[in-house]
């Protein structure tokens, strides 16, 4: 992944997200998904913008089905904000950077 976005796998998800302190944003996506590709630029820009405050990550749902199933991902893109390892907000579909940032700001309070 480019810039400040971390690529997650089934093997790394627990350590990187569920055991993490603070706020994390996870983008559940797939290569074939056009809306997911649209969100890639937004997620990358947001990763740069919140670097040092929020961990921004991506998980390919085709390659890592176990984690996607665990969180009930039935539509992509789905972006979930986690705080101290727990999901606190979910966005399904193309979402504006402003809406994602507002969700992250609320989670950081």
pLDDT (tens digit, 9 = 90+) per residue, 1-60? 457 899 999 999 999 999 999 999 999 999 999 999 999 999 999 999 999 999 999 999
Burial class (CB in 10 A: 0-12, 13-18, 19+), 26: buried
Place of tokens 């606190």: 88
Distance CA 48, CA 73 (A): 25
Average pLDDT over every residue of 68-82: 97
pTM of the entire predicted model: 0.95
Q: Give catalytic status of residue 36 as yes or no.
A: yes
pLDDT at 2: 54
* Domain boundaries along the sequence of the chain: 5-108
Write down the number of H helices and E strands in the chain: 4, 5
Class of domain 5-108: alpha beta
Catalytic-residue membership of 57 = no
pLDDT of residue 21: 95
The one catalytic residue among 33, 40, 45, 92: 33
Which pLDDT score is estimated for 40? 95
Selecting among 36, 43, 56, 79, the annotated active-site residue is 36
Q: Does residue 5 contact residue 56 with C-beta atoms inside 8 Å? A: yes
């Amino acid at each position: 992944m480019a810039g400040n976005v971390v690529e997650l796998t089934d093997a790394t998800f627990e350590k990187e997200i569920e055991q993490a302190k603070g706020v994390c944003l996870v983008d559940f996506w797939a290569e074939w998904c056009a809306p997911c590709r649209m969100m890639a630029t937004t997620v990358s820009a947001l990763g740069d913008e919140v670097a040092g405050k929020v961990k921004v990550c991506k998980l390919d749902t085709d390659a890592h089905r176990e984690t996607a199933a665990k969180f009930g991902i039935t539509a992509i893109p789905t972006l979930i904000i986690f705080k101290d390892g727990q999901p606190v907000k979910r966005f399904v579909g193309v979402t504006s950077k402003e809406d994602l940032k507002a969700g992250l700001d609320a989670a950081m309070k």
